[in-house]
Chains A and B, each alone.
Chain A
Amino acid sequence: MLKITDLQAAVDGKEILKGINLEVNPGEVHAIMGPNGSGKSTLASVLAGRDSYEITGGSVTFEGKDLLEFSPEVRAAEGIFLAFQYPVEIPGVTTINFLKTALNEIRKYRGEEPLDAAQFLKRMRERAKFVNIDDALLKRSLNEGFSGGEKKRNEIFQMAMLEPKLAMLDETDSGLDIDALRIVAEGVNKLRSPERAIIVVTHYQRLLDYIVPDFVHVLYKGRIVKSGPKELAFELEEKGYDWIKAEVEAATV
């Protein structure tokens, strides 16, 4: 589904990704872990199409198409979704209006009829239950004045509405207490399916107690330096990142 080959990216001339290789198939859940500043969030942003990064090398294909050629909106329409680490507050645009516009733009791209008001409301009520999100919240301006937990739940709710093929969750656990974390993780788990792939970007292992990954990758200094099964996450939790850093430094000397 997603094939990343030797991907390199820089911001303001500073190289952040230095050759990422990763393959993700439908139904798989991949966790990308790593210390702060290792490039985890950059990778998610680059895949979603944020233009503040310059792609300096490598390639990314999504279902055989060159993903890097697409604008962010086309990537979304092709089935890519990014749950933001810091969801943006947009005063004056309600969540409902925002999602209705987004959903119907995506449908338009795919040559499908727009959903009418009744169909949209039905889908909304149904999916809002996945993350316990209140109707009243959805009628308010997008993320404006939402608590940290509400913002993250709203991200997963948007994912439920847009039904992406590949969802990337960027530090979705940050700033959440344990109850909020559980609600968000349960929402994500309801969205797991054999057709859908998920990439979980996280610093800590605790989210992975709830969203159990198939693969764990460790990103350090812009490269994936270690990959393994879910047990690798426990090892990282126990020993921290220092041993990985030491391994890498030893290999490069």
Chain B
Amino acid sequence: MTNENLKDKLLTAFQANEANLNGVSKTALHQKRREAIQYFEKLGFPTTKHEEWKYSNVSPLTKEGFELNASTDFGYEDVKMLDIPKLKGNILYFVNGIYNAELSVIVSPAEQLTIYNWAEALKNKPELLDTYFAQYANYQNDAFTALNTAFAHDGVVIEVPDNTVVEEPVILRFITDARTANVAAQPRNLIVAGKNTEVKVAESYRTVGENAGFVNTVTEIVLGENANVQHYKIQNDGQKSHHIGTTQVNQADNSHFYSVTVTINGGFVRNNLNIVLNGQHCEAFMYGLYFPNGKQHVDNHTLVDHAKPNSYSNELYKGILKDKSTGVFNGKIFVRPDAQKTNAYQSCRNVVLSDDASMNTKPQLEIYADDVKCSHGTTTGKLNDEAIFYMRSRGIPLAEAQTLLMYAFCEDVISQIKIDPIRAYLEEMIAQKLAE
């Protein structure tokens, strides 16, 4: 198959979907989809000649065949296998991109938050999608966002009304059921946190089965004044999975956003985290952790756009690379002319354990204001030999000493996850992965 095949297949599928829409095709929402597919057609899948994709090659993805609407019998028995001990809260399952009501549990009272899948949102709150959908994630220049926007028809729509603290976390579990075929899924999520709100949302991506998966996801998060949103993205996909995800965040005055992205496994992973600090006295914290081994590839692209004065952003990404794995960190910080008194910090630290593994880091600071504090730093090194000898001299065997040190290296990121059962679960998964 050639590069064009997946693209053509998707374009054909779009037309076929449209033919089944019966009248819905005239809605404003669908007009956006149609606009998006045109952009996708024009942009095509990026090649490594594209500056933003220089180190992340999607051509193997475009040569793979995927079922766009794969059937699945993923059910209760399978959920047990993926159980996160002691986890309580609103837990929603999406299997191959489609909401599964039977597996999902919503516990928060409706006055604290509304959680809809797309079908419910279109029926009960169409104005929410009309107001916010595709207003923030840029589909004009990003082929994958354009593709997701064109195919957007399921995912979660969350609204936290003004002056509300949501006590229970929202856990979104996106399952790629690749047990019988190569599958593609394009979840589209919208989180709107009103004024003076607090909510924790975790997105978990998990592949079951050995076939290839293609998950192209976009989450738009809109923070009102004085909103506090904690957003976690946890990835544990298969060796043959391709994950391309964009988290697009828009912050109003005095809002606080915390992001933690942890990639345990995934054949090809590209995470885009774009935050627009579109208000004063905002704070944005971005943490990331990745452990590629084998031939895994993990690419984190972050963009922090300081659009208004007096805001603060701080970023810490850390990785441990083994075997023939590759990693990319690209961190862009924009400080616009208006955004005086900006504080923006960025740090990316990596441990490369094999001569065949490689890490590409690229900080990009574009500062157009003169009264700002910005800094960035990247380090790539090996484990500290002196620390290993110290541990061994106390009786700790070499392999254990290495694992302890690697684990310690991750600690300041893991500790940012404030949903205790998820953190405990991750700690266990990470310990397992590091011992591999």
Contact = CB atoms under 8 A, between A and B. Distances in A.
A73 B398 contact: yes
B411 interface: yes
Nearest to A51: B389
Interface in A82-120: 82, 84, 87-88, 90-93, 98-99, 101-103, 105-106, 109
B405 A98 contact: no
Given A88-B384, A88-B386, A90-B405, A49 B393 contact: yes
Given A90-B408, A92-B409, A101-B404, A82 B393 contact: yes
Contact of B392 (A76, A93, A141, A162): A76
Interface string B377-418: 000000010110111111111101100110111111000000
Contacts, number: 76
A50 B433 CA distance: 28
A49 to B, nearest CB: 7
A88 B407 contact: no
Contacts of A103: 395
Interface in A44-88: 48-51, 71-73, 75-77, 81-82, 84, 87-88
Given A49-B392, A71-B398, A87-B390, 15 more contacts: A76-B393, A76-B394, A84-B390, A88-B384, A88-B386, A90-B405, A91-B408, A91-B412, A98-B391, A98-B394, A101-B400, A102-B396, A103-B395, A105-B395, A109-B395
B408 A93 contact: yes
24 contacts: A48-B393, A49-B389, A51-B389, A71-B392, A71-B398, A72-B392, A76-B395, A77-B395, A82-B393, A84-B390, A87-B390, A88-B387, A90-B387, A90-B390, A90-B408, A91-B408, A91-B411, A98-B391, A98-B394, A98-B396, A99-B394, A102-B391, A105-B400, A141-B408
B392 A73 contact: yes
Nearest to B392: A72
B255 to A, nearest CB: 30
A31 B363 CA distance: 53
Given A90-B408, A92-B411, A93-B405, A101 B387 contact: no
A158 interface: yes
Interface residues of B, number: 23
Contacts of A76: 392-395
A92 B387 CA distance: 12
A92 B395 contact: no
Nearest to A102: B394
Nearest to A83: B393
Interface residues of A, number: 30
Contacts of A77: 395
Nearest to A79: B395
Given A92-B407, A92-B411, A93-B408, A162 B391 contact: no
Interface string A139-150: 001000000000
Nearest to A106: B395
Interface of A: 48-51, 71-73, 75-77, 81-82, 84, 87-88, 90-93, 98-99, 101-103, 105-106, 109, 141, 158, 162
A106 to B, nearest CB: 4
Contacts of B409: 92
Where chain B touches its partner, the secondary structure class is helix
B385 to A, nearest CB: 8
Contacts of B386: 88
A158 B394 CA distance: 8
Nearest to B390: A88
Contact of A93 (B389, B397, B404): B404
A72 B408 contact: no
B136 to A, nearest CB: 36
Nearest to A82: B393
Contacts of B412: 91-92
Contacts of A158: 394
Nearest to B408: A92
A77 B409 CA distance: 26
Contacts of A93: 404-405, 407-408
B387 A102 contact: no
Contacts of B411: 91-92
A93 B390 CA distance: 13
Nearest to B401: A73
Contacts of A75: 393
B383 to A, nearest CB: 11
B143 to A, nearest CB: 39
Nearest to B407: A92
Scoring B390, B400, B405, B408 by chain A CB atoms within 10 A of each residue's CB, the highest score goes to B390
Point out which of A71, A90, A141, A162 has the most chain B C-beta atoms below 10 A from its C-beta.
Answer: A90
A180 to B, nearest CB: 21
Contacts of A102: 391, 394-396
Nearest to A93: B408
A49 B405 CA distance: 20
B405 A162 contact: no
Contacts of A141: 408
B390 A105 contact: no
Given A73-B392, A87-B390, A90-B387, A105 B408 contact: no
A234 B177 CA distance: 78
Which of B387, B395, B396, B408 has the most CB atoms of chain A within a 10 A radius of its CB? B395
B104 to A, nearest CB: 36
A83 to B, nearest CB: 10
A109 B407 CA distance: 23
A81 to B, nearest CB: 8
A81 B392 CA distance: 11
B398 to A, nearest CB: 7
B400 A72 contact: no
A72 B404 contact: no
A72 B409 CA distance: 23
A103 B395 CA distance: 7
Nearest to B389: A50
B379 to A, nearest CB: 14
B384 A73 contact: no
Contacts of B408: 90-93, 141
B191 to A, nearest CB: 32
